[in-house]
Amino acid sequence: MPYYEPRLSLELENFSSMEKYFKLCEILGMKNLIVELNKSPKNLEPDLIDKIRMLTKLNLNFRFNLKPVNMNQFKKDLKIYNNFPFILSIETPVKDIQIQAAKDSRIDVLSYSNPDIMKTISPGVISLIKQSGSFIEFSVAPIMVNNRTYQSKNFRLLYRFIQLIMKIKPNYIISGNFGNPYDLRHPRNLSSICHTLLGMPLRKAKEGFSKNVELLLNQVKIRSEKNHFQSGVRLIRGE
Amino acid sequence: MKDERQRYILFKILIDENEFLNKKILLNSIWHSIWKYFGMKEANKIGLWLVEFNISEGYGIIRCSHKTKEIVISALTMISEIFEKRVILSPIKTAGTINKIRQFVI
């Protein structure tokens, strides 16, 4: 079962730092990574993706994370992502945007990696995500903090979040999303934490790092095909 | 009494300064992590034993009961500092016999 680290934020300007991260990932035994682009795709150099791929033997995929603060900005930002070839995710505490994003087929992932954003989740949004076939993402990074007060708060928050997801059963992925290289861990070990400390069945936890991520990547690949319109609708022959 | 089955866990040790780290300190921090996250109820089932510790090569082998394998993996993963020095203890392979696990030692 190939494991993925679905979110690794890197500074795209700093190649030496990126190389260090990739080396560390290789030492830890990771094989598949999804790198978060911190630059808007408009400002990306055309050959940047190839340059990053040259740095390592790891299988790299890419994603971009939108962080809109109001509905107008969200609608404006989304216009340029009609044929986006990578994973597009959204991370916002505004409920109206979450609802709109859950319905929008251009958004692949609704991310709840931050504890403040995790608090804003509602069963209605999860249900919408399930209906639209997009993915919900949460991260184990909040429980790896050193401050015990925050750590126990985040444990409770994440536990309740996971119980809600297990009940409604939308598509989900789990990410590490660690900012510091010394916080990086192999996804197999993180699935173990989800099982023992957060009450997820081990099989479900492993799926969050492997099978479900593959499904997401496959979905993005199909979406970027020219003849594909929406889930289940594809132009077979046209003039 | 029937013997309980055991598991051997091979883990990597990544640390900047390794002079201060020895077998005793490592074992103490693993026990501390188990106590912190799982408490006495789970700790008494583990049967933890540090079989091998090689700081120069950066690996260690731990033995535990097969039912508590996931607990030990989690406890190792949750350790991020020893004596305020950042450290990564990353489990890489689990096996049922010591001979099998030694095959994976690089």
In a domain, B26, yes or no: yes
- In a 3-state reduction of DSSP, which class is residue B33? helix
Q: Distance, in angstroms, between A57 CA and closest chain B CA?
A: 19
Taking the C-alpha atoms of residue A121 and residue B72, their distance in angstroms, rounded to an integer, is: 32
Q: In the predicted model, is pLDDT for residue B72 greater than 90?
A: yes
What tens digit of pLDDT does each residue of A126-152 get?
999 999 999 999 999 999 998 999 999
Give the residue from B41, B57, B77, B94 with the most A CB atoms within 10 Å of its CB, the best one to mutate.
Answer: B77
pLDDT score, position A135: 96
The enclosing domain of B44 has a CATH number of 3.30.70.3250
User: How many residues appear in chain A?
Assistant: 239
Residue B39's pLDDT band (cuts 50, 70, 90)? very high
pLDDT score, position A85: 86
A116 within 8 A of A133, measured Cβ to Cβ: no
In a domain, B1, yes or no: no
DSSP for residue B67? G
Partner-chain contact A189 B87, CB within 8 Å:
no
Query: What is the homologous superfamily of the domain A65-225 according to CATH?
Result: Metal-dependent hydrolases (3.20.20.140)
Taking the C-alpha atoms of residue A41 and residue A166, their distance in angstroms, rounded to an integer, is: 34
Partner-chain contact B77 A185, CB within 8 Å:
yes
Mean pLDDT score, A208-235: 84
Residue A96's pLDDT band (cuts 50, 70, 90)? very high
Of B71, B78, B90, the CB nearest to A28: B90
Q: How many domains does chain B have?
A: 1
Q: In the predicted model, is pLDDT for residue A239 greater than 70?
A: no
* Cα dist from A59 to A5, A24, A53, A62, B59, whole Å: 11, 14, 8, 10, 26
B80 within 8 A of B87, measured Cβ to Cβ: yes
A188 within 8 A of A209, measured Cβ to Cβ: yes
Of A182, A190, A196, the CB nearest to B80: A182
In a domain, B14, yes or no: yes
The domain in which residue B77 lies consists of: 6-102
- In a 3-state reduction of DSSP, which class is residue A102? helix
ipTM of the complex: 0.94
- B71: which chain A residues are within 8 Å (Cβ-Cβ)? 196
- B38: which chain A residues are within 8 Å (Cβ-Cβ)? 196
In a domain, B87, yes or no: yes
Q: In the predicted model, is pLDDT for residue A58 greater than 80?
A: yes
Q: Please name the residue of chain A whose CA is at the shortest distance from the CA of residue B70.
A: A192
Taking the C-alpha atoms of residue A190 and residue A4, their distance in angstroms, rounded to an integer, is: 11
